[in-house]
Structure formats: C-alpha cells, structure tokens
C-alpha cells in the first residue's frame, strides 16, 4: 500500500510519504525553505523514508531527484528527531552552444566615404563614396545564396568550398563570384548589377561571360580595383600603412608565416582604419577590373593569402588572376553602389 501525502507548504518542493500510515496532510509540513536551498520538514511518526520532488508549477508535473545529481533527495531516512533538513537544488543555468558563425546577412557593409589618395605606390586613387563588406564573404554566406541561386536558373549550384562556416569561401572563379553577386541581389530584391546584354535586360546567371554593368544599380558587386585599394589603405582615414591596418602584418593579417597552413575565420585580426578585416591576407579577393595591360585576359586579385609571404599582402600588390581559375587562395568581398 502506498499513500501520498503532500507538505502543506509545498511552494517549491512537495514531499511524498512512501510508508503506510494514517497521518493526514495537516500533520506533514515543510517548515522552512531558505535562500540557500535549505529545506526543512517535520517528520511524521508513520514514515521512515522521504523524497523531495520538483515541479515547474504548483500543480506539477512532479519530478524525482534520482540519479547522481539528486540521489541525496531520494530515500531520505528519518532522523527520529522530528525534523529533517536537506539541501535542494535552486540554481539554474543556461548553456548556449555557439558556432562562432557570422549571421547570414549583409548588414556588415561599411560605408566608405569617397576621396582621393596621393603619394602612394600605384599613383593617385580617387573614388566616389560606396559600401564594401566588412569581411570576406564566408562559406556560410556563399552557400545560403548558392542554394537560392540553384533554384533560380543560375549555374553555380555546386560551386565553391570552405574550411568552416565562418571562413572565407574559396575555389570560386571570378565569373562565379559575379554571378553570385547577382543572385544575392535578386534574393534580396535589389537590382542586379551584371547583365549579358548591352541593354541591361538579361541578368547574368550562367556561363563565363564578360558582363555588362548597370552602374546605377544598388545590388551587390565586386569592388573595383581602385575601390579596393582605397579601402585597404584606410580611405580618408589612411595612416599610410604598408598593409591594410598596420605595418606589422602579424597584427592585421594571416599569411604564410602565421597561418599554420590554412585560411582562418574572418575578422580575427585587427581591423584597418575603416573597420575592415582581412584585407591583407587570409584569401585573395577578386576585384572587377581587368589587370592593367591584360585587358580581355586577366582580372585583378588583391590582398595576398594565408599561403604566400608578406610581399603579396601589401595594399599596393595586384594579383594577375585568370578569371576562370578556382583556387584555395582566392575569395572576394562585396561592394555596393550607393543609391
Ligand atoms: Ca583578404
């Protein structure tokens, strides 16, 4: 025979009596429950074993404290003194599992105020104001847009690779990056920048083509060579550093001497004067322009890579990039023309 009796002050814990007996609820009370988790109840003569149970509400459901964590709250032996005191759990914690992944949004665009830089290695640079990605496009961002693109007539459905969600995408050709920019624009309801016809009617979605540019569109695009270098050098906030954000590459970028042989999560080194990360190192970044003197053949890549030495990470350096090539060392960051 089993009879359940509840403590009459069971605001937090309820007591059950597993012994046979005639004691009524009025005889069985929680005497105290203090701020340190000490719970005291009176013994009743006909019970020798007690158990503390827990419930999220006064009406239940009731849970036993069994197993290693709460074994001391089960099979509580009577003391014979008339009072039993025990410690009950009253601490809670929340454990979050984080992936360190950046959100799949592009709120991380930085406004770059236009202006000019002179007395730099490549001559003068002048740009209008525009927006540019604070980080390299990540593998997670690439995949999110790529999946959308695959069901919207783009041919980049299986393109690209990444070491982890928040690492830069790699193994993407110049053409594929341009198409991805268009896909992202369309996915977000923005006017695409790149087209396959001079009339700007056919959005560039497939094959390797030399796209026509809608210069006033506010969709995503690759930065121009000038925009990239202007930004890398800190724009109007430029401090004249050799690398983007400093003269000590170990502080601002991942390259062959400090990368350990692989790309890194974006945004871990010190940002440059404009708050942008990884413009020196991690992965090269495709720019829109033809490489000077190689028009029709090669596009520009910028910023060096985790795989090569510091020389390639200088803000002045240009990579001669075959736009068809996919490489572990090249990704990109987004730019946007202002409305
Ligand atoms: Ca980079």
**How many angstroms separate the alpha carbon of residue 255 from the centre of ligand 1?**
10
Q: Which of 16, 52, 334 is nearest to 180 (CA)?
A: 334
pLDDT tens digit string along 131-147?
999 999 999 999 999 99
- Per-residue confidence at 26, pLDDT binned at 50, 70, 90? low
pLDDT of residue 231: 98
pLDDT of residue 71: 59
* Residues near ligand 1 ion, CB 5 Å cutoff: 278, 282, 303
Task: Specify whether the CB–CB gap between 159 and 149 falls below 8 A.
Answer: no
**How many angstroms separate the alpha carbon of residue 67 from the centre of ligand 1?**
52
**How many angstroms separate the alpha carbon of residue 309 from the centre of ligand 1?**
13
**How many angstroms separate the alpha carbon of residue 284 from the centre of ligand 1?**
5
pLDDT of residue 232: 98
Where is pLDDT greater, at 190 or 123?
190
Q: Are residues 140 and 257 in the same domain?
A: yes
Tell me, yes or no, whether 104 lies in a domain. no
Q: Are residues 43 and 152 in the same domain?
A: no
Query: What is the token pair recorded at 15?
Result: 């007591």
Domain count, the chain: 2
Q: Residue 6: which residues within 8 A CB-CB, separation 6 or more?
A: 14, 15, 16, 25, 28
Q: Are residues 309 and 171 in the same domain?
A: yes
Q: Are residues 24 and 127 in the same domain?
A: no
3-state secondary structure of 111: strand
Q: Are residues 189 and 150 in the same domain?
A: yes
Residue 136 DSSP one-character state: P
Q: Are residues 168 and 60 in the same domain?
A: no
Average pLDDT over residues 101-120: 75
**How many angstroms separate the alpha carbon of residue 286 from the centre of ligand 1?**
9
**How many angstroms separate the alpha carbon of residue 111 from the centre of ligand 1?**
18
Task: Specify whether the CB–CB gap between 257 and 250 falls below 8 A.
Answer: yes
pLDDT of residue 100: 47
End-to-end Cα, the chain, rounded Å: 80
Q: Which of 155, 158, 162 is nearest to 138 (CA)?
A: 162
40-49, 141-150, 266-275: segment of lowest average pLDDT: 40-49
pLDDT of residue 63: 73
133 by Cβ neighbours in 10 Å (0-12 / 13-18 / 19+) ranks as buried
> Which secondary structure element, helix H or strand E, spans residue 335, and what is its range?
strand 335-337
Decide if pLDDT at 5 tops 70.
no
**Residue 74 backbone dihedrals phi, psi, to 5 degrees:** -120, 150
pLDDT of residue 4: 45
Decide if pLDDT at 12 tops 90.
no
pLDDT of residue 16: 44
Residue 197 DSSP one-character state: S
Domain that holds residue 55: 2-98
pLDDT of residue 11: 40
Tell me, yes or no, whether 45 lies in a domain. yes
**How many angstroms separate the alpha carbon of residue 231 from the centre of ligand 1?**
12
**How many angstroms separate the alpha carbon of residue 65 from the centre of ligand 1?**
54
3-state secondary structure of 116: strand
122-126, 148-152, 213-217, 333-337: segment of lowest average pLDDT: 122-126
Query: What is the token pair recorded at 307?
Result: 């795989």
pLDDT of residue 3: 44
Q: Which of 133, 142, 131, 132 is nearest to 166 (CA)?
A: 142
pLDDT tens digit string along 307-335?
999 999 999 999 999 999 999 999 999 99
- Compute the distance between CA of residue 306 and CA of residue 286 in angstroms, rounded to an integer: 15
Residue 16 DSSP one-character state: E
- For the four alpha carbons of 255, 261, 264 and 269, in that order, the dihedral sign comes to negative
Average pLDDT over residues 22-45: 74
**How many angstroms separate the alpha carbon of residue 180 from the centre of ligand 1?**
18
Decide if pLDDT at 174 tops 70.
yes
Query: What is the token pair recorded at 101?
Result: 């992944």
Tell me, yes or no, whether 23 lies in a domain. yes
Largest distance between two CA atoms of the chain: 101
pLDDT tens digit string along 86-110?
887 666 566 665 554 444 444 689 9
pLDDT tens digit string along 64-94?
666 555 557 777 888 888 888 888 766 656 6
Domain with residue 156: its CATH number is: 3.90.1580.10
Q: Are residues 244 and 139 in the same domain?
A: yes
**How many angstroms separate the alpha carbon of residue 170 from the centre of ligand 1?**
11
**How many angstroms separate the alpha carbon of residue 332 from the centre of ligand 1?**
7
Q: Are residues 13 and 151 in the same domain?
A: no
pLDDT tens digit string along 197-230?
999 999 999 999 999 999 999 999 999 999 999 9
- Compute the distance between CA of residue 47 and CA of residue 86 in angstroms, rounded to an integer: 16
- In sequence order, the β-bridge partners of residue 110 are 132
Tell me, yes or no, whether 103 lies in a domain. no
Average pLDDT over residues 252-279: 97
| pTM of the predicted protein model | 0.70
Where is pLDDT greater, at 19 or 16?
16
Q: Residue 103: which residues within 8 A CB-CB, separation 6 or more?
A: none
């Amino acid at each position: 025979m089993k009879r359940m009796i509840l403590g009459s002050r069971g605001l937090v814990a309820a007591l059950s009596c597993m012994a046979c007996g005639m004691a009524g609820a009025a005889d069985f009370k929680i005497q105290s429950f203090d701020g340190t988790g000490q719970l005291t109840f009176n013994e009743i003569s006909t019970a020798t074993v007690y158990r503390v149970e827990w419930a999220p509400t006064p009406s239940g459901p009731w849970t036993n404290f069994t197993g290693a964590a709460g074994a001391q709250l089960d099979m509580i032996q009577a003391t014979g003194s008339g009072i039993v005191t025990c410690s009950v759990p009253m601490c809670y914690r929340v454990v979050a599992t984080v992936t360190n992944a950046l959100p799949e949004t592009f709120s991380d665009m930085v406004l770059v105020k236009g202006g000019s830089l002179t007395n730099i290695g490549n001559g003068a640079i002048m740009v209008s104001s525009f927006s540019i990605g604070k980080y390299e496009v990540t593998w997670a961002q690439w995949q999110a847009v790529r999946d959308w693109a695959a069901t919207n007539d783009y041919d980049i459905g299986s393109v690209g690779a990444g070491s982890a969600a928040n690492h830069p995408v790699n193994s993407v050709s110049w053409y594929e990056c341009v198409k991805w920019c268009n896909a992202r624009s369309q996915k977000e309801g923005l006017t695409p920048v790149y087209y396959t016809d001079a009339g700007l009617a056919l959005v560039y979605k497939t094959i390797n083509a030399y796209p026509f540019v809608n210069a006033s569109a506010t969709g995503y695009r690759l930065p121009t060579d000038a925009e990239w270098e202007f930004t890398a050098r800190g724009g109007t906030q430029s401090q004249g550093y050799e690398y983007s954000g400093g003269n000590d590459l170990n502080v601002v970028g991942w390259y062959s001497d400090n990368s350990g042989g692989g790309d890194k999560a974006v945004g871990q080194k010190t940002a440059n004067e404009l708050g942008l990360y990884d413009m020196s190192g991690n992965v090269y970044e495709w720019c829109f322009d033809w490489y000077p003197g190689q028009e029709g053949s090669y596009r520009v890549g910028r910023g060096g890579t985790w795989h090569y030495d510091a020389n390639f990470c200088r803000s002045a350096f240009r990579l001669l990039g075959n736009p068809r090539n996919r490489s572990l060392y090249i990704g990109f960051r987004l730019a946007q023309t202002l409305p």
